[in-house]
Structure 1
Amino acid sequence: MKEESEGAILEENKKKAKKSGLKNVGFFLICAVIGMTLGIVSATLVPNMPADVGFYAIAITVFCFFIGYLLHVPIHEAGHLVFGLLTGYEFVSFRVGSLTIYKKDGRYKKANFTFPGTGGQCLMNPPEYNDGKFPSFLYNIGGVAMNLAVSALALLAISETVSMWGNLFLVGFALAGLFTAVVNGMPRKINGFPTDGYNIVTMRKDEVANWAFWIQLRANALLTQGERPKDLPVEPFLLDAQDDLANPMNTSAYMLRYNHYLDQKEFDKAAQVLTEVTPFMDKMMPLHRNEINVEKVFLELIGDNDPAVIQELYNEELIQHVQATHNWMNKKRLAMAYEWFQRRDADKAMESYRELVDMAERYPLQGEADMERMLAEWLKDQIH
């Protein structure tokens, strides 16, 4: 049996290595296609470009393409902001990379908050949900529209009065915007994350997903303003068991129930929520699957504290996720519980406690921060 198990593991590792190799080959092929495309487009669009600078022109255009892609991240999020404001949304937060600007009590504040797998995010408070409808199309398509509009302006700015290098930058910048628009506009998932196009198509087909998307936006706005998870009404999060809880929008809405019970220290009810979503976890986006496992580990630590269960859940994937989201407050709570209940190291547990308290002062979701502080105090009592 042991030999069969080792053989299966070896075969699985070979498959992973082959898949990884194919991904690398695919990446280089994509880069090559992008390079040739940029070269051809540059030669076509840039006026009076000397033939003897062809290679350098391609290299500069490729460089400008990647710089342009970075610039189109805030442009994309600005599109969501502009079209959201035009359709009755209210500003909540705007993030580029880890820099987050959020509004609380009428004042703009700054925070450091990362969201793995995304370059930016614009969250807004939506208008009221009436008769199964709210204006969602323009808010979702706003980023794509802004990328296309700015790219079109860049192409129009190409002229003989601009230097060759300036024109090359405009070409690379415009193509980066087109690339960003296509990637975000296609109805698909990228590494499990739904694109704007995916949201639009799914919400038009599925009324539950439409409702769940609205719930996420409204709950996020309330939490940013300081509303506690326990104060959010739990009824809207009661999706039916037959609903697709692997859908990212449905998962996010459903997990609001978990925090609702966690904030009241009703750990049995919180655990029941995790049990209900478990059958869908294989199809979930990695972020949601890992976050659910984080909470499973936490409940196990403060409950039965079975080392075998914790070891099974706390695998390599989860360790990497915890490291990538180290500035999320629930990771400090997890570390605090792990250091005490598993390792009986009160000093390290209290170190995580102090980090959590310090983080709470500048956390974008103030309602969630208050919940985490409450749970940290409860854990502190267990230690002492």
Structure 2
Amino acid sequence: MYSIIEKPLWTKEYVNELFLSRNTKDKKQLRNSLLYFFTVTILGIGVGLITNSILLSEENSKFWLIAILFTWLDGILLIVIHEAGHFVGGIITSYRFQSFRVFSYCIVKEDNKYKIEKRKIPGTSGQCLMKPPKNWTLDSPFFLYHAGGGIATFLVSMLSLLLFKLTSSPLAQIIFFILFGYGLILTIINLVPLQLPSSNNDGANILAIRRDKTAKETFFKQLECNAWLSDGRKLEDISEDYLKLSENAVWSEPLNYYLEWILYSKFLKEREFDKAEELLMKMEEAYHDMLPSKKIRIDSERLYLLIIRQVDTDCINTFYKNVADKLRIQKLCTPILRTLIAYEKYSNNNNNNNNKCALEQYQRMFYRAMKSAACKQEAEVDYILTYQVEEACDTEKGSSDLI
């Protein structure tokens, strides 16, 4: 039973008051968003004006379409170069290859064999995951693995500037300058510490690890845990103590998120709902300092727990109305789709909403998202809970068979 949360708390009135406070703009996040916006805008305008002046010359005026094409192609090339920089930086400091992803195409090493899979992480265009050094400690290196991507794009950017100055071909000048400008922008927004909507950039991660031993420990554990899951280890095989943050941990630190969501999924799979609730409440205490994407995930899980607890119908519907638009923005990942499907089933069962089309659409999307999920074990938990939501509700009445 849900001993921790069985209190007259979740009402329609409480939810309305909750979202009045949750929607209050956080000054720190507002500052970070403005800093990111102005950095990208100023750099973009500067590079755009110079590129435009080059293209306006008589000999270059016919290359506009080529310039647009190469702006797109250079973006893809720089993603590959950036992730390759992480790979090289990791190899130099004794990390071991695990996966290399560009958009949704991912090269994965499993059982000493390489294969290509489709994996998606919303909000990211690429990722190079490495296994941490064997027998890692808090003194193990971390800088080159993090900074390698930014260093690689910077070196390519400087090389492109050199080639731009050396070449006399108008077409080559345009190509090299676009590569230089694009590379410089990516270098700055990657290495200058910034909090992006979905995660820290590499510069912010480096800063967090330098100032916080807990963040450093969770960074290495995150890589190690990810490697275990990639190698087929189940959530129940990873101890709760390993995944728990220390008492002094900063819950709003993005580097700490991964382990806590793995622990949360572990609790759900093992039907430890009291523990899942307790962990979610801990996350909610740091709600205002978290990144927007993590706030959405917290709102999603709160709605899910309210549904399987079968609290007051007005409360559930009010909560859903406050978060529905945000959930739909991130409906490409299985945890969010799990909640959306649970709500549609709940609404249909309570004659509040007979929109069968929405339920069927979310179910189709869930299967697609599950196939390309970055963490198969988490997606497996979402699958079990998505198609056993009625049994989850029965658990409140004493049923013992959720999984």
Q: TM-score, normalised by structure 1?
A: 0.79
Aligned to 2:118: 111
Alpha carbons 2:98, 2:130 under 8 Å: kept: yes
The residue identity in structure 1 corresponding to 2:300 is V
How far off is 1:276 after superposition?
1.1
1:367 matched to 2:377: yes
Greater shift after overlay, 198-207 or 306-315? 306-315
Q: Which structure would you say has the larger RCO, counting Cα contacts within 8 Å and 6 or more residues apart? A: 2
Percent identity among equivalent residues?
25
Write the distance in 2 (CA, Å) between the matches of 1:199 and 1:28.
23
1:184 matched to 2:190: yes
The residue identity in structure 2 corresponding to 1:326 is K
Q: Secondary structure at the match of 1:191?
A: coil
How far off is 1:356 after superposition?
4.1
How far off is 1:61 after superposition?
5.9
Alpha carbons 1:225, 1:367 under 8 Å: kept: no
How far off is 1:363 after superposition?
3.5
1:260 matched to 2:270: no
Distance 1:50 1:379, change over 3 A: closer
Write the distance in 1 (CA, Å) between the matches of 2:201 and 2:56.
40
Q: Secondary structure at the match of 2:252?
A: coil
Q: Secondary structure at the match of 1:93?
A: strand
- The one of 298, 301, 304 equivalent to 1:295 is 301
Aligned to 2:340: 335
The residue identity in structure 1 corresponding to 2:118 is A
Write the distance in 2 (CA, Å) between the matches of 1:71 and 1:104.
26
- The one of 37, 48, 52 equivalent to 1:35 is 48
How far off is 1:38 after superposition?
3.9
How far off is 1:220 after superposition?
1.9
Distance 1:331 1:169, change over 3 A: same
Alpha carbons 2:60, 2:170 under 8 Å: kept: no
The residue identity in structure 2 corresponding to 1:182 is I
1:239 matched to 2:245: yes
Aligned to 2:202: 196
Q: Map residues 132-151 of structure 1 onto 2, 5 A cutoff.
A: 132-151=138-157
1:325 matched to 2:330: yes
Greater shift after overlay, 25-34 or 253-262? 25-34
The residue identity in structure 1 corresponding to 2:47 is I
Q: Secondary structure at the match of 1:244?
A: coil
Distance 1:160 1:126, change over 3 A: closer
How far off is 1:81 after superposition?
1.8
Task: Describe the superposition over 1:234-285 as per-residue Cα deviations: whole angstroms up to 9, x where unpaired.
Answer: 1133224442111111233333321121120111110110011111010100
Alpha carbons 1:39, 1:54 under 8 Å: kept: no
Write the distance in 1 (CA, Å) between the matches of 2:97 and 2:136.
20
Aligned to 1:307: 313
The residue identity in structure 1 corresponding to 2:200 is P
Distance 1:213 1:377, change over 3 A: same
1:80 matched to 2:89: no
Write the distance in 2 (CA, Å) between the matches of 1:307 and 1:101.
46
Q: Secondary structure at the match of 1:127?
A: coil
Taking only aligned residues, the RMSD between alpha carbons, in angstroms, comes to 3.7
Q: Secondary structure at the match of 2:193?
A: coil
Distance 1:59 1:347, change over 3 A: closer
